[in-house]
A = this chain, B = another copy of it.
Amino acid sequence: MRATIMYGPGDVRVESVPDPRLVEPTDAIIRVTHASICGSDLWPYRGLDDRPFGPNGIPMGHEAIGVVEAVGPEVRTVKPGDTVLMPFAYSDGTCVFCHEGLPTACVHVGFFGSPEVGGAQAEAIRTPFADGTLFPLRAEVDETLMPSLLTLTDVMATGHHAAVTAKVGPGKTAAVVGDGAVGLCGVVAAKRLGAERIILLGGHPDRIALAKEFGATDIVSDRGEAAVERVRELTGGYGAHSVLECVGTEEAMRTAILIARPGGAVGRVGVPHYEAIPASDPAFYGNLTIGGGPAPARAYFAELLPDVLEGRIQPGRVFDLTLPLDRAAEGYRAMDERRAIKVLVKP
């Protein structure tokens, strides 16, 4: 089959690789119909990750919708022919953390887009713990909904997680740090959870336009101290109740803490490419709550799916470029150069 492999910074190739096959009795093989390139794929693409590429490169992609092609003998809840959502992490569905709604802390957790299980930017992928991981769509789904459904496998679930851990609620002011696909989904999530005011910190005109359509009420395009000042001005000097940190850089996290109102919460979902969080002021003296982490996407499907199926949210609008699998490398370039917000890849 064809699959996307990254061999080093800026070096993405779509190549012929062996077809995936069932290894464990709990595995499923799915034929990928929709995959995407994630902002987090840009970290290694830009040479900003510690992860070694190795001589065989890294199979890329961790977000997919597909059709089940084969299942191991112990798989019970999906069967060949089912259309399924595949979240970015696999999980057994039976451990204490899965039961507590935190499958990204599953005792068997693993992440797609790795040499062990392969990547989703490919014609097919092996899914460990298929029962715990895959979420079958029970009805025929219109193709136009597929982009929004695909976001549930990562970016929309992640934006939602940022909003939940930032304690967004009715009447509150939310600030979203970052205008990437996750930040934009954070706007969707904040709106959905009732935020009265949603301040997006971002500078890219196309993304700002989409953020406004998603429900952002204010835009702050300054950076650093100026951004902090501007958010303070917009919030009567106090800051935002809920801050969604959707970038993962030291500057973004620092900004997130500085624009939070005393007693407020920061939900951080950008994979941290920084060592530490400033401990003292304002995090401690402002009684801030700092939460977040890898979104338990699988656990959020049931809550978010109806809103997508019934058209109340359209996070799939973050996809502004669709490419066939063989042109995946173009997608990386477009996202790296910020010509595209998010790229949908169709095998």
Contacts and interface: CB of A to CB of B under 8 A. Distances in A.
B290 A238 contact: no
Number of copies: 2
A258 to B, nearest CB: 15
Given A278-B276, A279-B272, A290 B290 contact: yes
Contacts of A277: 276-279, 283, 290
Interface residues of A, number: 34
Contact of A287 (B96, B104, B275, B285): B104
A287 B278 contact: no
Q: Which 4 A-B pairs have the closest CB atoms?
A: A276-B276, A287-B293, A105-B262, A289-B291
A171 to B, nearest CB: 12
Interface string A255-284: 000000011000010011011111110011
A127 interface: no
Interface in A66-102: 96-97, 100, 102
A345 interface: no
Contacts of A97: 262-263
Contact of A280 (B238, B272, B280, B290): B272
A194 interface: no
A97 B291 CA distance: 21
A275 B280 contact: yes
Interface string A236-269: 0010000000000000010000000011000010
A294 interface: yes
A276 B286 CA distance: 15
Given A105-B263, A263-B97, A263-B105, A274 B279 contact: yes
Given A97-B262, A262-B97, A105 B286 contact: yes
A330 to B, nearest CB: 32
A153 interface: no
Contacts of A278: 275-277
24 contacts: A96-B238, A97-B262, A97-B263, A100-B263, A105-B263, A105-B286, A272-B279, A272-B284, A274-B279, A275-B279, A275-B280, A276-B276, A276-B277, A276-B279, A277-B277, A277-B279, A277-B290, A284-B292, A284-B293, A285-B294, A287-B291, A287-B292, A288-B291, A289-B290
